[in-house]
């Protein structure tokens, strides 16, 4: 027994293709094709979509035949560092060469630079399918066109772009992007240091503006996926610590692997080319074996500033938002692999007179896995769409500013899309990360003893999955972001919050259908948990808040604010609140989608999926709300009451 066979990872996945059909392609394609101004581009959204589906169909077959079929080899091979260079895992190298030949590594790059100008959403669908086959290939795949795309975005953001007839014709990174598109070069996203992972304010790598007007960057970075690439986007401290402490002192840099005698970026094969930084090692990891995670040592390395000084964290967030959505797709691909393997085994394995798939508990596991995957995919597609549309609208506004009134309208649209993407991104990164680990474990459990045996590949799915809740911001960091954004919005506008809470409560009884009532119940649970958290924080800070006018809350809340202490109750329950917000977002999306397809052949199945989700998660949400209401006081008391000596020691260690 091993992974169930498939000849095409796109065509065998009806739910994936349903989500693809729900995307607002006319809007996305018009932005992607610069309102169809490019002579070499598609002429209408239908032509573009047919092309994207061809790409997905062809690569769906490639992924099944050439990646999934070699998953054990990919697991057995490790990249190594030899004479300062990475020797890649042989199968990984072969797969990436094949993908390069198929144009799969440059899909999202512009046509004029050798790419296919495909939306990032399509690339993300590939990430899901590749992860289903092997997570290490997906991990490296993202650092080809993803890095090229990011450099182009930065160039457009800072305004270093030449335009002709409303279309960008030249950026400062054209040479780099062309090399990525044509030569199997790639890049890396370089943040983490031995003392700075979740807490980027601790970054020590330093960039100094030398007398010759060029930047030199020094410091060590660790765990860098695809760090043996030629094009690094690095965050480092560029400003004076005292004047610009923490995140404010960070800037973003492009650091090439090879430079010429003048320190200018160049190709490895150019005369006089020399290395601009050294690789310090390649990690031995528990999973994703074929992918490189490298230590990088920069020593007075030549660097080029991206965007404005001191705006590095903001710039990195743009890259991180996309990367987090992409990791959401990795999580879905992992769940899909686990669920399919478990289902195939459960159909075959007979105990006590019937296949285990027909024993109630196993049937429940399998049903839960399927419902979660499909709910997760629905919100992840939404997040990806809104992130991409907001980014493209923003770039378009910069490159081709519209008359004032139109631009104001466009800015409103950008804010609306960005708000949706920002609300969903931490939820999907959180839930995809947590669920893929849980589903990999469920798959092993469903397979019994044989799941523990290496040849089946079940334990590989779990090993590969375990880092997904860690990289690109851990689950806890996602939960902190979701907590902060939601509580801030409620505190800023308590009247609106309370009116939305009342609406949710009313709709649990008065909504048009049972599905909508169920959705309202999940929304109400999330909002009442927020109310509990806010009331508790307010009570801790202000004494009893009952009877105080709402208008007074905001000013009283913000006065003498100490986020470390005052927010404790919220911080303690951040993950619980994130679960509630996620389940509410999934219910909203599934019910909306089922309403949208009313009258079509898809309706019955989509309505039944929404109902299955609500039936599973509404009672669970009630339990989480009860946990928030009932727990916390004594734990916070104990943590905050740690002896001063202990706290002092922890501070000294920082
Ligand atoms: C295989 C692999 C690939 C990677 N690829 C890259 C890459 O390409 N580029 C890159 O820059 N980095 C990369 N990383 C690094 C990764 O992003 C970090 O490991 C991750 O962000 C966590 O940072 P840390 O390891 O320093 O953990 P820490 O920040 O020390 O966190 C340790 C634990 O404490 C929790 N924690 C921290 N702060 C809080 C808080 N305020 N409240 C509650 N809990 C908290 C965390 O959630 C975590 O559980 C990679 C790591 C691995 C293992």
- CATH code of the domain in which 285 resides: 2.40.110.20
Atom of ligand 1 nearest to the CA of 198: 29
**Ligand 1 centre from 570 Cα, in Å?**
21
Question: Of 312, 336, 368, which one is at a domain's C-terminal end?
Answer: 312
**Mean pLDDT of all residues in 317-342:** 96
Q: What per-residue confidence (pLDDT) applies to 440?
A: 98
Higher pLDDT pick, 584 / 558: 584
Q: Does residue 465's CB lie within 6 angstroms of at least one atom of ligand 1?
A: no
Closest by Cα among 226, 218, 297 to 253: 218
- Report yes or no on 235 lying in a domain: yes
Read off the pLDDT of residues 401-437 as tens digits, 9 standing for 90 and up.
Answer: 778 888 888 899 999 999 999 999 999 999 999 999 9
- Report yes or no on 606 lying in a domain: yes
**Mean pLDDT of all residues in 105-124:** 96
Closest by Cα among 140, 138, 136 to 127: 138
Is the separation of the CB atoms in 334 and 460 below 8 Å?
no
Residue 552 pLDDT > 70: no
For 218, the token pair is: 């020094």
Closest by Cα among 548, 572, 587, 543 to 637: 572
For 394, the token pair is: 């923003």
Q: Does residue 225's CB lie within 6 angstroms of at least one atom of ligand 1?
A: yes
What is the rounded distance in angstroms from the CA atom of residue 370 to the CA atom of residue 336?
A: 8
The protein residue with its alpha carbon nearest to ligand 1, atom 41, reads 477
Residue 395 pLDDT > 80: yes
What is 273-320 written as a DSSP string?
-EESSEEEEE---SS-TTS-EEEEEEEEEEEEEESSTT-HHHHHHHHH
- Report yes or no on 547 lying in a domain: yes
Residue 641 pLDDT > 80: no
**Mean pLDDT of all residues in 145-161:** 91
- Report yes or no on 477 lying in a domain: no
Q: Does residue 467's CB lie within 6 angstroms of at least one atom of ligand 1?
A: yes
Neighbours of 114 (CB within 10 A): 17
Q: What per-residue confidence (pLDDT) applies to 654?
A: 42
Question: Could you tell me the residue range of the domain that residue 580 belongs to?
Answer: 490-653
Backbone angles phi, psi at 104, to 5 degrees: -75, -15
Q: Does residue 192's CB lie within 6 angstroms of at least one atom of ligand 1?
A: yes
Q: How far is CA 56 from the centre of its chain?
A: 21
Q: What per-residue confidence (pLDDT) applies to 637?
A: 77
Q: What per-residue confidence (pLDDT) applies to 548?
A: 66
**Mean pLDDT of all residues in 21-32:** 95
Using 50, 70 and 90 to split pLDDT, how confident is the model at 653?
very low
Atom of ligand 1 nearest to the CA of 475: 47
What percent of the chain clears pLDDT 70, i.e. is strictly above it? Answer: 93
Residue 297 pLDDT > 70: yes
Question: Of 312, 346, 377, which one is at a domain's C-terminal end?
Answer: 312
Read off the pLDDT of residues 240-294 as tens digits, 9 standing for 90 and up.
Answer: 999 999 999 999 999 999 999 999 999 999 999 999 999 999 999 999 999 999 9
**Mean pLDDT of all residues in 537-561:** 66
Residue among 143, 192, 226 whose CB has most ligand 1 atoms within 8 A, to mutate: 192
**Mean pLDDT of all residues in 83-96:** 97
Specify the pairing of strand 231-237 against strand 187-190. parallel
Mean predicted lDDT score pLDDT of the chain:
93
- H or E segment and range at residue 171: strand 167-171
Give the chain's domain count: 2
Question: Of 312, 347, 373, which one is at a domain's C-terminal end?
Answer: 312
Read off the pLDDT of residues 59-85 as tens digits, 9 standing for 90 and up.
Answer: 999 999 999 999 999 999 999 999 999
Q: What per-residue confidence (pLDDT) applies to 398?
A: 80
For 512, the token pair is: 């048009």
Closest by Cα among 108, 112, 109, 136 to 124: 108
Q: Does residue 323's CB lie within 6 angstroms of at least one atom of ligand 1?
A: no
Residue 652 pLDDT > 70: no
Residue 335 pLDDT > 90: yes
**Ligand 1 centre from 195 Cα, in Å?**
10
What is the rounded distance in angstroms from the CA atom of residue 371 to the CA atom of residue 374?
A: 5
Q: What per-residue confidence (pLDDT) applies to 19?
A: 98
Using 50, 70 and 90 to split pLDDT, how confident is the model at 545?
low
Q: Does residue 13's CB lie within 6 angstroms of at least one atom of ligand 1?
A: no
Using 50, 70 and 90 to split pLDDT, how confident is the model at 650?
very low
Is the separation of the CB atoms in 440 and 406 below 8 Å?
no
Read off the pLDDT of residues 431-462 as tens digits, 9 standing for 90 and up.
Answer: 999 999 999 999 999 999 999 999 999 999 99
- Report yes or no on 522 lying in a domain: yes
Helix axis angle, 312-348 relative to 404-446, nearest 10°?
A: 40
- Report yes or no on 429 lying in a domain: no
CA dihedral angle for residue 583, residue 586, residue 587, residue 589, rounded to 10 degrees: 160
Q: Does residue 120's CB lie within 6 angstroms of at least one atom of ligand 1?
A: no
Residue 356 pLDDT > 70: yes
For 331, the token pair is: 């999580």
**Ligand 1 centre from 295 Cα, in Å?**
15
CA dihedral angle for residue 268, residue 273, residue 278, residue 281, rounded to 10 degrees: 30
């Amino acid at each position: 027994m091993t992974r169930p066979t498939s000849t095409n990872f796109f065509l065998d996945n009806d739910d994936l293709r349903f989500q693809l059909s729900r995307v607002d392609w006319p809007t996305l394609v018009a932005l992607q094709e610069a309102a169809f101004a490019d002579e070499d581009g598609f002429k209408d959204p239908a032509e573009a979509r047919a092309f994207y589906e061809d790409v997905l169909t062809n690569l769906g077959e490639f992924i099944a035949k050439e990646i999934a079929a070699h998953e054990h080899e990919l697991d057995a091979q490790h990249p190594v560092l030899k004479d300062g260079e990475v020797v890649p895992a042989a199968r990984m190298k072969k797969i990436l060469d094949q993908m390069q030949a198929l144009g799969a590594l440059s899909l999202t790059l512009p046509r004029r630079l050798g790419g296919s100008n495909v939306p990032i959403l399509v690339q993300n669908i590939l990430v899901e399918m590749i992860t289903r086959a092997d997570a290490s290939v997906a991990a490296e795949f993202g650092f080809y066109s993803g890095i090229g795309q990011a450099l182009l975005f930065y160039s457009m953001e800072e305004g270093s772009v030449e335009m002709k007839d409303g279309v960008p014709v030249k950026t400062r990174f054209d040479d780099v992007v062309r090399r990525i598109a044509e030569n199997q070069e790639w890049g890396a996203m370089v943040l983490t240091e031995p003392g700075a992972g979740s807490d980027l304010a601790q970054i020590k790598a330093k960039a100094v503006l030398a007398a010759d007007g060029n930047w030199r960057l020094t410091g060590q970075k660790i765990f860098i996926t695809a760090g043996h690439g030629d094009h690094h986007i690095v965050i480092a401290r560029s400003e004076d610590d005292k004047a610009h402490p923490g995140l404010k002192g960070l800037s973003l840099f492009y650091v090439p692997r090879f430079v010429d005698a003048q320190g200018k970026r160049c190709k490895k094969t150019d005369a006089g080319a020399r290395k601009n930084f050294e690789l310090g090692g390649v990690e031995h990891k528990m999973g994703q074996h074929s992918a490189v995670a490298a230590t990088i040592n920069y020593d007075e390395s030549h660097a080029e500033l991206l965007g404005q000084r001191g705006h590095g964290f903001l710039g990195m967030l743009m890259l991180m938002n996309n990367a987090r959505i992409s990791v959401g797709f990795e999580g879905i691909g992992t769940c899909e692999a686990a669920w399919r393997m478990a289902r195939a085994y459960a159909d075959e394995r007979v105990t006590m007179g019937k296949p285990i798939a027909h024993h109630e508990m196993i049937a429940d596991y399998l049903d839960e896995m399927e419902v979660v995957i499909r709910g997760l995919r629905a919100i992840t597609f939404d997040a990806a769409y809104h992130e991409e549309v907001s980014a493209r609208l923003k770039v378009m506004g910069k490159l081709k500013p519209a008359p004032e009134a139109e631009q104001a309208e466009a800015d409103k649209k950008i804010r609306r899309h960005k708000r949706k993407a920002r609300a969903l991104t931490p939820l999907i990164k959180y839930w995809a990360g947590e669920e893929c680990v849980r589903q990999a474990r469920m798959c092993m459990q469903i397979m019994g003893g044989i799941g523990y045996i290496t040849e089946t590949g079940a334990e590989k799915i779990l090993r590969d999955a375990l880092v997904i809740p860690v990289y690109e911001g851990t689950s806890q960091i996602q939960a902190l972001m979701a907590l902060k954004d939601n509580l801030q919005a409620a505190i800023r506008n308590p009247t609106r919050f309370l009116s939305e809470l009342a609406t949710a409560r009313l709709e649990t009884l008065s909504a048009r259908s049972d599905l909508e009532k169920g959705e309202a119940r999940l929304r109400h649970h999330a909002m009442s948990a927020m109310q509990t958290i806010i009331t508790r924080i307010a009570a801790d800070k202000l004494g009893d808040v009952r009877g105080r006018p709402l208008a007074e809350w905001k000013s009283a809340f913000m006065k003498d604010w100490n986020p470390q202490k005052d927010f404790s109750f919220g911080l303690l329950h951040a993950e619980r609140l994130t679960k509630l917000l996620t389940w509410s977002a999934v219910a909203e999306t599934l019910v909306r989608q089922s309403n949208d397809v009313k009258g079509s052949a898809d309706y019955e199945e989509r309505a039944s999926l929404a109902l299955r989700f609500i039936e599973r998660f509404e009672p669970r949400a009630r339990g989480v709300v009860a946990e928030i209401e009932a727990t916390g006081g004594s734990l916070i008391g104990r943590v905050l009451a740690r002896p001063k000596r202990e706290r002092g020691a922890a501070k000294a260690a920082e």
